[in-house]
Structure 1
Amino acid sequence: MPAEGGAAMGGGAGGSAGMAGGAPPSNGGASGGADSNGGKASGGENAMGGSGNEAGADSQAGAAGAAGMDGGMTCEFPTTFRWRSSGVLVSPKSDPSHNLVSVKDPTIVFFDSRYHVYATTANTAGNWNMVYFNFTDWSTAKDAPHYYMDRTPGFEGYHCAPHVFYFRPHKKWYLIQQSQPPQYSTNDDISQPDKWTRPQNFFAQMPAGTPELPIDYWVICDETHCYLFFTGDNGRLYRTRTRIEDFPNGFGSLSVALEESNRNDLFEGSATYKIKGTNKYLTIIEAIGANGRYYRAWTSDRLDGTWTPLGGKESNPFAGAVNVTYEPGVADWTNDVSHGELIRDGYDETMTIDPCRLELLYQGRDPASGGEYSQLPYRLGLLRFVRD
């Protein structure tokens, strides 16, 4: 969702100690931008809301994995939502070459008994790049070493808004990113951020109908096709697809999957998931309201089908200030529930989520902060769904 800031962020040492993980078994497993020369921040206009208090979440050692997280228990997907938030779990880590003001736009998977996170960073010069870190327990997330992705060949300069998953047909990890056009890199081992291949464009030329500011790319596959969704800070969600055997090549013409007349009602940061135990899909998209950023939701029977609203706007959101409370002892640290990702029931290209265990890793900031979008001090926190 961020914009290109111009110069690269530098190549200082990042520190990858403690990085663990690897590749799944051989049978699989389980953003506001500008054009490539610009400096306009996506999400900067009308932005509502950095730093939060460092209250942590309760300890939650990795309980998931590629298989189901709840031992066969099934749950109806809710139609109304209440959440409880942690305090700030992850803050930016600076070094002499990376003077950072925010960490944001996280993508997360649980694999090999660890949470693996790639996220956007912004520095004091307004430049965007990414970091990687992993941890076994939310209580230790704040201590995880951060690896600066501009140390990896090909990742210098403007790369942000990551989305990571394991693509079973290729037995490879894929890292989708914004640079401004959509790009991908591959890796045999998610825990080795220095091993990603140089980013490649999905398109030789962006297809007709692409908005001026395409951002926040997301890939999800069904049995036959892989879909690339993205937003444009213009009230539209875009979709293109390719046959699963052709991925990552072969993406075709664009379709508008969702549209709102007020661009703030469908702004950026979309994510689409398969709902476990159903034939339904969920899309969440960040919107801008009078009191902060929040998430709306839609469901559909097909990835190329019609999307039906689930809940409403700011007064009845999927997740926002009006339906979030805080864990005991945690101060209210953000009005924004902004660009994040639901923790999946697995890590593969199906993007499956379990209704029994809804958790959203999100970015928030001190409501008193303001200024240029790139300088807003976003940090990461965790929402857990409160089931009635």
Structure 2
Amino acid sequence: MAALAGCGTTADRTAAPAPTKAFHWTSSAPLISPQPAPDQTIYAVKDPSIVNVNGTYHVFMTTAGSVGWGLAYTSFDKWPDAASAKIVPLAKSPMGPGYRAAPQVFYFAPKKTWYLVYQGSDPLYSTSKDIGDPMSWSAPQPFFPVVPDIVKLPQGHGWLDFWVICDDRKCYLFNTDDHGRLLRSETALGEFPNGFHNTVAVMTEKTEDLFEASNTYKIADTNTYITLVEAVSPQGRYFRIWKSDGLDGKWEPFSSAPMNTFAGRDNVEQLWSEGISHGEMIRTNADQTMTIDPCRPLEYLFQGNDPAVHVADYIKLPYRLGVITAKGDNPVSALCR
């Protein structure tokens, strides 16, 4: 007798594979590396943010050089073209020179405007109407008129690596502090980029277990959000992953791997780097919802460094950018409908 629809036989249920609860990846070679600059030595390219618009990748990054930290831009249509694509410093745009790092780029659909979020001493943003024109970015503007008390020394530890994501009511700004805290601020969608307030700690762990470079996404066609935060181990940097049913909700581990690992030395094949550090998911759209498609193989653009190169000065660590691609099923792909 045929089994009833949706029930299956005992043998069928026994044979069905259990949903995977961990991630596995394979790595590209380094794809984006420093290029010669007329005014300084560029040691590293870091902290990438990426969107794909009409078939073209747009990548923003931190440059680490002999005159300090800055932001830069490159674009290309296919990954084999990334290495030869020109990297353009943004210091000559209206954004101007000075300390800038850790960019995040997205299209804010309600205002039909591109936003570039980055860190100065505090969270800053610039805007553009043309993501393909690196000279179009506006002068920096602060998100906060006054630094929140939770961030100020001595009770706070400063803030860095800012990340904006919005739902249909509010925009949230997440950041880390290199001391084991993930912080969140909020504003109404209609007030963005103004009005951020209510800065609170939403996760607190040991410093090395919740370090920096948080990035948060919505999984398409679900009510699930994921957040990734970089951690530090003796084997190098790696990312951990949590999930929530809302940007203002509680974050719970989203991997059964030790330390709810998302990506690191233990689960990335062909890895040329000491670990997996500051990066961003390659998303299915470019807007403020930060949506990823669970039905497509996950790709993550990351910064990595050669484990054989040891330097005392952090700015001289030879970071390069590469891509890891998910292999097989994982907790995100399990949500594909």
Q: Calculate the TM-score normalised by the size of structure 2.
A: 0.88
Answering whether residue 227 of structure 2 is matched by residue 288 of structure 1, we say: no
Q: Are 1:294 and 1:314, in contact at CA under 8 Å, matched by a contact in 2? A: no
| Residue 365 (1) aligns with residue 336 (2) | no
The corresponding residue for 1:255 is 200
* 1:205 corresponds to which of 143, 146, 157: 146
Question: Residue 219 of structure 1: CA displacement?
Answer: 0.2
Partner of 1:246: 191
- Within the alignment, does 1:224 sit opposite 2:169 as a pair? yes
- Tell me if the contact between 1:315 and 1:322 (Cα under 8 Å) persists in the aligned partners: no
> Could you say if the C-alpha distance between residues 320 and 273 of structure 1 is closer, same or farther in structure 2, counting changes exceeding 3 Å?
same
Cα distance between partner residues in 1 of 2:37 and 2:59:
19
After superposition, the C-alpha distances for 1:127-173 in whole angstroms (9 at most, x for unaligned) are: 10011000000011001011111111233010110000000110000
Q: Is the 8 A contact 1:282 1:300 kept in 2?
A: yes
Task: Deviation per CA, 1:84-115: give whole Å up to 9, x if none.
Answer: 00011000112221310000100000002100
Secondary structure at the counterpart of residue 81 of structure 2: helix
Distance 1:168 1:337 in 2: 31
Please give the root-mean-square deviation of Cα atoms over the aligned residues, in Å: 1.6
Give the aligned partner of residue 30 of structure 2.
88
Q: Tell me the SS of whatever aligns to 1:142.
A: coil
Percent sequence identity is 46
The question of whether the paired residues in 2 share the 8 Å contact of 1:340 and 1:362 is answered with yes
**1:79-118 to 2 correspondences below 5 Å:** 79-118=21-60
Q: Name 2:13's counterpart in structure 1.
A: none
**Structure 1 or 2: larger strand share?**
2
Offset at 1:358? 0.6
Counterpart code for 1:102: A
SS of the aligned residue for 1:95 comes to coil
Q: Which residue of the partner structure matches residue 339 of structure 1? A: 278
2:42/2:63 contact within 8 Å kept: yes
Task: Find the aligned partners of 1:144 and 1:204 in 2 and give their Cα distance.
Answer: 38
249, 267, 276: which one pairs with 1:323?
A: 267
- Identify the residue that residue 301 of structure 1 maps to in structure 2: 245
Give 2:159's aligned amino acid. P
Residue aligned with 1:90, SS: coil
Deviation at 1:212, TM superposition (A): 2.7
CA distance in 2, matches of 1:161, 1:155: 16
Task: Give, in whole Å, the separation in 2 of the partners of 1:255 and 1:187.
Answer: 30
Inter-CA distance 312–368: structure 2 relative to 1 (3 Å threshold): farther
Q: Which runs of 5+ in 1 are unaligned?
A: 1-76, 327-331
Matched with 1:167 is 108
Distance 2:165 2:181 in 1: 18
Superposed displacement of residue 205, structure 1: 1.1
Instruction: State the AA in 2 paired with 1:311.
Output: S
* Alignment CA distance shift 1:106-1:382 (3 Å): same
Q: Within 5 Å, give how 1:376-387 maps onto structure 2.
A: 376-387=317-328
Distance 2:258 2:214 in 1: 16
Write out per-residue CA displacement over residues 335-369 of structure 1, whole angstroms, 9 at most, x where no aligned residue: 21000000011000000011223100000010022
| Conservation of the 8 A alpha-carbon contact between 1:208 and 1:253 | no
Q: What TM-score, normalized by structure 1, do the two folds share? A: 0.77
SS at match of 1:272: strand
Give, in angstroms, the shift of residue 207 of structure 1: 1.1
CA distance in 1, matches of 2:279, 2:224: 21
Tell me, in whole angstroms, the C-alpha distance in 2 between the residues paired with 1:269 and 1:256. Answer: 15
Contact 2:48/2:62 (8 A) holds in 1: yes
* Higher relative contact order structure (alpha carbons within 8 Å, sequence separation ≥ 6): 1
Bigger radius of gyration, 1 or 2? 2
